[in-house]
Amino acid sequence: MADKEAIVGKDRSPFFPGKPVTPEFFIGREEQIKLLERAIRQAKSGSPQYLFITGERGIGKSSLVSLAGQLAEREHGFISAQCQLGGADSVGEVCRRMYQALVSQLPDKSLFDKVRGVFDKYVERIDLFGIGVEFKKDAESRESLVENFLPLLFRVGQVVRDAGKNGVFLAADDLNGIATNTQFAHFLKSMVDQIAVGPQRNFPWVFSLVGIPERMDDLKSKQPSIDRIFQPIELSIMREKDAVAFFEQSFRSVDHTWDTNALQLMAQLAGGHPVMWHEVGDAVFWEDQDGHIDESDVLERGLNVACENVGRKYLARPLYDELRSKVYQNILKHIGHQKSPVMKRSDVLRELPSAQAKNFDNFIQKMRNLGVIRNIPGTRGEYEFVNLLYYFYITLRTARIVESSK
């Protein structure tokens, strides 16, 4: 391995599965970017905007929201901040995380000092760039931080505008357990209402929640008008040509060359799911030995590694074992040949030797129990993958089975 890396100077892979992509590697999503820019413009001209960026895990929500934040900053003179709500279990915790993000992600020191000043009363301790803001823990300051959320937000807005900025872009990423918290749903609703009818009705901000579609449903069940307030921006899988563009751009950035068919093959394998682009890209990058990506780098080496990584990282152990079992391989092959992550019992049975029909039903049962697939509502015998990652793993895995049996 060491030798390989020395030959073409592979110090650093341009692929980074799991990390949000930086703007220079960002591909596609033109439509969603247009909606985000429109929201930023509207906010700038005095109409507060509320968004909900949604899609499956790994589809690119965090990447999109951080690109939008940068756009807001660079092109529209906003300040932008992104906080993680994963693990937050109270409205107080949500407020603290939002403020901390606002304080710590400011572009310059003088603005940082001023915004920090807004929260002085509540802060126990803060390190140089506000990354470690510790809010006071006594119940009174905690409560008052929540109660004063809006006045504090407006003061931040004032400070920001005094410094010549046009608005605030704030994203709350990784919305999770808190989405089932009734108080949180009410907090959101009343925040929006109070802004709308108060003297700050032109508050120039974009506030975006980010989470998988189920979290939006959770919120809706606690507070039905959430649906109407937050404009959804939906991310679905991307196009194969986006994948090709992504591979070209990434390999170019590390001075690699390629055969067109090799990149097309990678795009086919990875499909439209960006997290899979990174998995496939990273595997092929490290398996290649000469700085030129060809078909054999993909089929003979990269594919195996990508499959192993995806299986190990994204699938729970029990499922991993099921998929390795010989009994299910014909079924997997069938699924792998499909063009979409949907399975119809009747289609599969048509292609399977009749002796295997029972295996198929067992397979479906197991996959359902493991939470990998689910019934498509309103159908009989039609199934979809709960998470697209699973589907892509199976596609990758099947391509590998087919390759190795040639």
Ligand X SMILES: Nc1ncnc2c1ncn2[C@@H]1O[C@H](COP(=O)(O)OP(=O)(O)O)[C@@H](O)[C@H]1O
- Which residues of this chain interact with ligand X, rule CB under 6 A? 16-21, 25-29, 55, 57-63, 246, 274-275, 278
**Residue count of the chain:** 406
Q: Which does 21 bind (CB under 5 to 8 A by kind): ligand X, Mg ion, none?
A: ligand X
**DSSP element (H, E) containing 317:** helix 317-324
> For residues 103 and 216, which CB has a smaller minimum distance to ligand X in the complex?
216
Please give the torsion angle defined by the CA atoms of residues 283, 285, 288 and 289, in that order, rounded to the nearest 10 degrees: -130
Which of Mg ion, ligand X, none interacts with 18 (beta carbon under 5 to 8 A by kind)?
Answer: ligand X
Work out which of 32, 54, 62, 82 binds Mg ion, going by CB under 5 A.
62
Pick what 246 binds: Mg ion, ligand X, none; C-beta below 5 to 8 Å, kind-dependent.
Answer: ligand X
Q: Binds 271, which of Mg ion, ligand X, none (CB < 5 to 8 A, cut-off by type)?
A: none
Buried/exposed 172-197: b ≥16 CB within 10 Å, e otherwise: bbbbbebbebeebbebbbebbeebee
Can you state the angle between helices 149-162 and 182-197, rounded to 10 degrees? 50
| Contacts (CB under 5 A) with Mg ion, residues 221-260 | none
Report the distance separating Cα 87 and Cα 92, nearest Å: 13
Give the separation between CA 18 and CA 103, rounded to whole angstroms.
26
**C-beta of 69 vs 302, nearer to Mg ion:** 69
DSSP conformational letter for 386: S
Nearer residue to ligand X within complex by CB, 215 or 333: 215
Please choose which of ligand X, Mg ion, none residue 211 contacts, taking the beta carbon within 5 to 8 angstroms, the exact cut-off set by kind: none
Which residue number, 62 or 181, has a Cβ lying nearer to Mg ion?
62
Smallest distance, Å, CB 259 to Mg ion? 33
Nearer to ligand X (CB atom), residue 166 or residue 231 = 231
**Position of minimal CB gap to ligand X:** 60
Give me the least distance between CB of 257 and ligand X, in Å please: 21
C-beta of 119 vs 246, nearer to ligand X: 246
Q: Which DSSP string corresponds to 76-143?
A: H-EEEEEEE-TT--SHHHHHHHHHHHHHHT-SSHHHHHHHHHHHGGGEEEE-TTSTTEEE--SHHHHH
Residue 372's binding partner among Mg ion, ligand X, none (Cβ under 5 to 8 angstroms by kind) is: none
Q: Which helix (H) or strand (E) holds 384?
A: strand 382-385
- Residue 387 or 398: which CB sits closer to Mg ion? 387
Question: What residues numbered 337-376 form the site for Mg ion, per CB under 5 A?
Answer: none
The two beta strands, 205-211 and 231-234, are unpaired
Q: Answer whether 72's CB lies under 8 Å from 23's CB.
A: no
176 lies in the site for Mg ion, by CB under 5 A: no
Considering the complex, state which of residue 142 and residue 278 has its C-beta at the smaller distance from ligand X.
278
Which of ligand X, Mg ion, none does residue 313 bind (CB under 5 to 8 Å by kind)? none
- Shortest gap between Cβ of 114 and ligand X (angstroms)? 31
With CB cut-offs between 5 and 8 Å by kind, which of Mg ion, ligand X, none does residue 239 bind? none
Closest CA to 206 of 192, 224, 185, 225: 192
- Using CB atoms within 10 Å of the CB of residue 155, give its burial: 0 to 12 exposed, 13 to 18 middle, 19+ buried: middle
Residue whose Cβ sits closest to Mg ion: 62
Cβ at position 228, least distance to ligand X in Å: 24
Q: What's the closest the beta carbon of residue 217 comes to ligand X, in angstroms?
A: 17
User: Tokens standing for 254?
Assistant: 């590390």
Contact 294, 251 (CB under 8 A): no
- Give the shortest CB-368-to-ligand X separation in angstroms: 24
Cβ 70 to ligand X shortest distance, Å: 13
Of the pair 60, 271, the CB lying nearest ligand X is at 60
172: left (phi over 0), alpha (psi -120 to 50) or beta: beta
- CB-count burial class (<10 Å; 0-12, 13-18, 19+) for 131: exposed
User: In angstroms, what is the minimal distance from the CB of 149 to ligand X?
Assistant: 25
Between CA 258 and CA 285 the distance in angstroms is 11
Footprint of Mg ion (CB under 5 A): 62
